[in-house]
């Protein structure tokens, strides 16, 4: 069993894609074990994207995550990390396969709708950051 983090970014929330994304996660057979809507602080978003600090897109992606409400989802299941990454699709939606969230609903990398943890270590770090109170 693995637990991973999905964030529905502000573009996904404003386009009312929360239900669609949660539906796909559950239809795949994965369990939602943490769920909240929040307006994140700049501090938590900068910590979340710490690996990208100094890169050209860092300020833009931090501003984007802080531009509206997001939904944080903790997802548990067998091979959940890889399964969720595959379901969300490639970072650049133009390279994301149809049938993935990004391949079906996004067009540009700066508005690619979701975040998902890249590996189990990242998942553990990110879940502690977004769900410090713990999971169900
Ligand atoms: O989200 P993912 O793990 O697929 O990609 P990443 O390489 O960890 O980048 C984090 C986020 O930064 C992406 O999801 C994009 O929102 C943003 N980004 C961007 O706007 N332009 C890039 N060239 C690379 C990433
Ligand atoms: Mg990443």
Report domain extents, the chain. Answer: 2-130
Report the pLDDT value the prediction gives residue 82, as an integer from 0 to 100: 98
Give the domain 2-130 fold: Alpha-Beta Plaits (3.30.70)
Q: Is position 115 annotated as part of the catalytic site? A: yes
Cβ of residue 26 lying under 6 Å from some atom of ligand 1: no
- Alpha carbon separation from 119 to 42, 60, 64, 79, 128 (Å, rounded): 24, 24, 23, 10, 14
Condensed to tens digits (0 to 9), the pLDDT of residues 88-111 reads 999 999 999 999 999 999 999 999
Question: Which residue CA neighbors atom 20 of ligand 1 most closely?
Answer: 110
Nearest in space to 76 (alpha carbons), one of 7, 25, 115, 130: 25
Report the pLDDT value the prediction gives residue 132, as an integer from 0 to 100: 98
**Band of pLDDT at residue 18, cut at 50, 70 and 90:** very high
Neighbours of ion ligand 2 (CB under 5 A): 118
Report the pLDDT value the prediction gives residue 41, as an integer from 0 to 100: 98
Report the pLDDT value the prediction gives residue 19, as an integer from 0 to 100: 98
Condensed to tens digits (0 to 9), the pLDDT of residues 58-83 reads 999 999 999 999 999 999 999 999 99
pTM of the entire predicted model: 0.98
Using CA atoms, how far apart are residues 96 and 107, in angstroms rounded to an integer?
A: 9
Report the pLDDT value the prediction gives residue 11, as an integer from 0 to 100: 98
Report the pLDDT value the prediction gives residue 25, as an integer from 0 to 100: 98
Cβ of residue 109 lying under 6 Å from some atom of ligand 1: yes
Residue 44 phi, psi dihedral angles, 5° rounding: -70, -35
CA 114 to centroid of ligand 1, rounded, Å: 10
Condensed to tens digits (0 to 9), the pLDDT of residues 39-59 reads 999 999 999 999 999 999 999
Percent of the chain residues past pLDDT 90, beyond the cut: 99
Report the pLDDT value the prediction gives residue 40, as an integer from 0 to 100: 98
CA 109 to centroid of ligand 1, rounded, Å: 7
């Amino acid at each position: 069993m693995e637990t991973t983090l999905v964030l529905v970014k502000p573009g996904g929330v404003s386009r009312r894609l929360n239900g669609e994304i949660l539906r796909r996660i559950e239809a795949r057979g994965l369990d939602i074990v943490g769920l909240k809507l929040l307006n994140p602080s700049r501090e938590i978003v900068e910590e979340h994207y710490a690996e990208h600090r100094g890169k050209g897109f860092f300020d833009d992606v931090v501003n984007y995550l802080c531009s509206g409400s997001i939904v944080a989802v903790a997802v548990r299941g067998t091979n959940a990390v890889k399964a969720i990454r595959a379901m969300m699709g490639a970072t650049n939606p133009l390279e994301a396969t149809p049938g993935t969230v990004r391949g079906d609903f996004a067009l540009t990398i700066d508005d690619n709708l979701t975040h998902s943890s890249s590996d189990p270590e990242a998942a553990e770090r990110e879940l502690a950051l977004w769900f410090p109170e713990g999971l169900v």
